Structure 1
């Protein structure tokens, strides 16, 4: 299913660093690692949420050389340990699209890359991209970006009112059963669609591409050789699903960086439990759910610009 609602209109996007109004001091430990005021308006943007990916599994596979396409882009080849803004997809993505990405696990406060303008923000810094719209997606649209969603799990399937809210933030959204959790080839199908979207854009058009990767979400048993439906999902099949995703991640990175330099964020929205302390699944307060992997980096454009 392809849907491309009319483009949004709104106030001019902020493409330079901005601070909150006078009288609303920002108490942060320093600027964000990347000056998003310089990035927004110049580079394309890619946000990938590896839905349900656990930090411990992601870190183990990176250290063991089992996810070379992802680890090869991560600073130092390692994931950053962060805390999820929610314990399940809906809550976490509502926060992410409001500018609240997973938070570094160390003591803060931590300056944010993106933030809506509001008085009293303690995590808006000089390098934060500040927008005057209700959410990050419309803020980037106001700054001249084409905003595109490649959905994965059910909250992005547009098959009912609830599944239409998050993709409805975007000017263009894509979902079909081949992208969903029940498909053993979901991510490669999503990457195919993403490549089509990128190729169809005018060269001068900036792009904000969001991909919600469904492959790690249950069911994932079919990614582990020898596993059965009856045995169900496990930590091992979760790891096998991440290896599957990594095999196709290089194509997504290549497409995202095919037009110009692209700033990429790859992270999980929450983890999931496989029997730890008697818990199974997510939407609960356990360390394996709230601790998630995070990475951000630039994909050089065709001219090699970094």
Structure 2
């Protein structure tokens, strides 16, 4: 049986808008994946998808394209705190856009009939109360548990993982992260629902080593940022296969924020520049094998 989707009145076919499922039906029925491509810029993601250079991701993106959205924060910690409270990136067009998840609070204008509303302080805790095993596979330093700050976000999950091999300095970080998810899925009882959050560090600086022929002296650039996304795309199929192996999985793939490479004199993020605030987003179902 195919899943039902609630479409917003303005979500016409081919518009680039993402159809909204009823999350009250999804939660408790499907496994869940939140994949944040840390620091990924919208323009780079859109260009590579349009050029056919992201076959692994584009095969699942509705229409083969990204939706343009605005990040809820300009750097990793702020953005993930917001997302775990239900504030995913907002569609980059005017309007009140219904949210998939929302912590219950008076006066919310973006909670709709299909929103999964929870009373817990964060989404992982809410899903755990619904019987999900919640897993964090960290990437950047805010998930490394090496200090008090690095324990806040992974501390929301029943199980969390971070290794130096998952970090921004590893040229094979995403492969190592995917291998960990495969191991987790393989040992979890089949009847147990699963929520996996994976923070991809490969796009974050330093990323020069993903560009063939580049050296540390070359430094990071928009081109090496794009090369890092191609690297992630080559291995994302393994992640999707693992997450749909047991049952249908609802997947959210997004960036938490972008980053600047010299535009208007800006470099990096945690600044109010369009290259930072504008991010790619899509959600979709991963169907189990026939």
The answer as to 2:24 corresponding to 1:42 is no
Asked whether the 8 Å contact 1:86–1:92 carries over to 2, the reply is yes
Secondary structure, aligned partner of 1:292: strand
Matches within 5 A, 1:159-198: 159-198=146-185
Q: Distance in 2 between matches of 1:102 and 1:33?
A: 14
Q: Distance in 1 between matches of 2:52 and 2:172?
A: 22
Asked whether the 8 Å contact 1:29–1:108 carries over to 2, the reply is no
Q: Distance in 2 between matches of 1:171 and 1:30?
A: 38
Asked whether the 8 Å contact 1:29–1:109 carries over to 2, the reply is no
* Residue among 254, 273, 278 paired with 2:265: 278
The answer as to 2:279 corresponding to 1:299 is no
Secondary structure, aligned partner of 1:298: strand
* Residue among 119, 139, 151 paired with 1:152: 139
Q: Distance in 1 between matches of 2:77 and 2:136?
A: 15
Q: How many correspondences in the alignment?
A: 276
Q: Distance in 1 between matches of 2:90 and 2:204?
A: 22
Secondary structure, aligned partner of 2:21: coil
Asked whether the 8 Å contact 1:29–1:110 carries over to 2, the reply is no
The answer as to 2:70 corresponding to 1:83 is yes
Structure 1 position 29, deviation (Å): 7.0
Matches within 5 A, 1:78-227: 78-227=65-214
Q: Distance in 2 between matches of 1:135 and 1:62?
A: 32
Find the counterpart in structure 2 of residue 18 from structure 1: none
Structure 1 position 106, deviation (Å): 0.7
* Residue among 230, 236, 242 paired with 1:243: 230
Structure 1 position 243, deviation (Å): 0.2
Structure 1 position 210, deviation (Å): 0.4
CA RMSD of aligned residues (A): 1.3
The answer as to 2:41 corresponding to 1:54 is yes
Q: Distance in 1 between matches of 2:75 and 2:261?
A: 15
Unaligned runs of at least 5 residues, structure 2: 1-7, 12-18
Unaligned runs of at least 5 residues, structure 1: 1-27
Q: Distance in 1 between matches of 2:59 and 2:111?
A: 30
Structure 1 position 294, deviation (Å): 0.2
Q: Distance in 1 between matches of 2:156 and 2:71?
A: 21
Structure 1 position 302, deviation (Å): 2.7
Secondary structure, aligned partner of 1:111: coil
Find the counterpart in structure 1 of residue 3 from structure 2: none
